[in-house]
Amino acid sequence: MERFHFLDKSKLTELPKTSGVYCFKSKNEAIYIGKAINIQSRVKNHFNQPSYRDNLFIDKVEKVGYFETNSEIEALVLEANLIKKYQPKFNVVWRDDKNYFYVAFEPNKKGLLYVYITHQPSFAKASEGQGHKYVGPFIEGVALKMTLKLLRKVFPFYTQARHPKNKCMYCHLGLCPGPTPDLKFYKRNIKKLILILEGKRVTVLNSLKNEMATLSKLKKFEEAGKVRDEIGNLQQVMSHASVISQEKNAISQITLNKVLGIEKEIHRIECYDVSNIQGKQATGSMVVFTDGVADKSQYKKFKIRIENTPNDIAMLKEVLTRRFAHSEWPYAQVILIDGGKAQLNIAIKCRLAGVKVISIAKGRQELFIEGQTNPIPLKNLPQEIYNLIKNLDDEAHRFAIAYHRKLRKNELLK
C-alpha cells in the first residue's frame, strides 16, 4: 500500500478534494478500495450515508488512505490495478467474474487485435501464444466504455473481428483504421492503448515524445506533427475527460430502470415493513429514498389496528390501504415490500396505477418484480442496485422495529 498516504479516520476533513483513489485500512490490511471525483466528499459519504455494503465494514475502518490522480480516467485505471494487486476483502466479497469488466484484445484473421468489453474472459484461451490479451478487472462498466470511446479518438482501433471492404462510419469519424490499415502503426497504437489501461500513461507519453524527436531529426516534419497532435489529444483526454460522474448518472437513470422494466425516471422509492409478536403491538413502517438517498423527513409509521391477529398479509394490506388514502403525500415511482410473492400480490391490489411494485424475499434471497414471472436472485443484480434494495429493506425493518419496541415499552409502563 505504498502508493497511499494514510490518515486517521477522525481526520476526514484533511482528505483532498481532487480525483483519485482511496483505501480503507483495518489492522494494516486494505479492506476496501474505491475511486472518486472528489476523494473527501466520497469518503465522507461512506461514513455519513452508508449503503448496505458500507455497513458491513465501515466500523472496522481505522485509517483512510488516498492517492491523487490527474484525471478521472487515471482514477478508474488505478482503482482496477490496485484492486487486482491487493484483493481487498470488501471489494471482492460481493463480486464474481460476472460482475467485473475486462477489456479484451483478440486477434482477427490478419493477426490484428480488435477491442471489446467482456464480463468473463476465457483465461484458458488467453495465452500469449494465441495473441489474446485481457486488461482488468474494472469495476464500473459505463465509465470504462466512455474511457475507451475517448481513447479511440487518440488511438483508433477495431471493435469487431471483420471489417467491411469499404470504409465504415467510424472510419469517416477517424475512430477506425479502415479496411487496409498500416499494420505496423496499428500494432503500435494497440500497444500504447494497453499500456494506458494498465496505468502506464507516463510511459506512453515519453514514448510518443521520443518518436516525435526522432522524426524531427530525420526531417520527417509531417509525421512528427501527427505524433505531436497525438500527444496533445492524449493529454487533453486524460486530463479533462469526465467519466466517473457519468457512470453515477447512468446507474440512477438507466441501470435501475432496465432491471425493473420501466421507462420513466425513478426519483422516489418507498419501502414497507411490518413488525409484531404474535400480532401484538403490530407496527408498519414506510421509509423513503429520494434519488437514492434516505429522506427521513418523509418516513411514516403506522400503529396497526388489527388486534391479536398474527397475519402479515392482512397487516400489510392495512398499512398500504392507509398510505394510499393520503393523496397529499407524494407518490413513489416504485414501492418495495418486505416479503415474497404473496406480499407482492397484495401490494399490487392496493397500490395506485403507475406505481411499480417489487418485493424482497430474504429467505431465498430473491427479488420479485411486478409483471415478471420469475424472481431474480439478489446475487445476480448489479452491485449498485443490490446495495440500494438491501439498504431500503434494512432501513424499513429498523424503523418498524424501533416503533414496535417503543409501543411495547409504553405498554409495560402502564
For 387-414, the pLDDT digits (tens) are 788 888 888 888 878 765 776 566 555 4
What's the number of CA atoms in the CB half-sphere (13 Å) around residue 40? 9
Q: Which helix (H) or strand (E) holds 401?
A: helix 383-413
Q: How far apart are CA 196 and CA 73, in angstroms?
A: 10
Name, in order, each residue with C-beta under 8 angstroms of 16's C-beta and a sequence gap of 6 or more: 39, 40, 66, 68
Residue 6 grid cell: 494514510
Q: Does the pLDDT of residue 129 top 80, yes or no? A: no
Q: What is the CATH number of domain 5-90?
A: 3.40.1440.10
For 351-393, the pLDDT digits (tens) are 988 899 999 988 888 999 999 989 999 888 876 788 788 888 8
With cell 426519483, the residue in question is: 267
The domain spans of the chain are 5-90, 101-240, 263-413
DSSP string for residues in 58-120: GGG--EEEEEE-SSHHHHHHHHHHHHHHH--HHHHTT--TTTSEEEEEEE-TTS-EEEEEESS
What's the CATH fold of domain 263-413?
Nucleotidyltransferase; domain 5 (3.30.420)
Does the model's pTM come out above 0.85?
Answer: no
Q: How far apart are CA 215 and CA 229, in angstroms?
A: 14
Query: Tell me, what's the pLDDT at 22?
Result: 94
3-state secondary structure of 273: strand
3-state secondary structure of 368: strand
For 14-56, the pLDDT digits (tens) are 999 888 999 999 988 899 999 988 899 889 888 877 766 777 7
Beta-strand pair 20-26/63-68: antiparallel
Rounded to 5 degrees, what angle do the CA atoms 165, 168, 173 make?
145
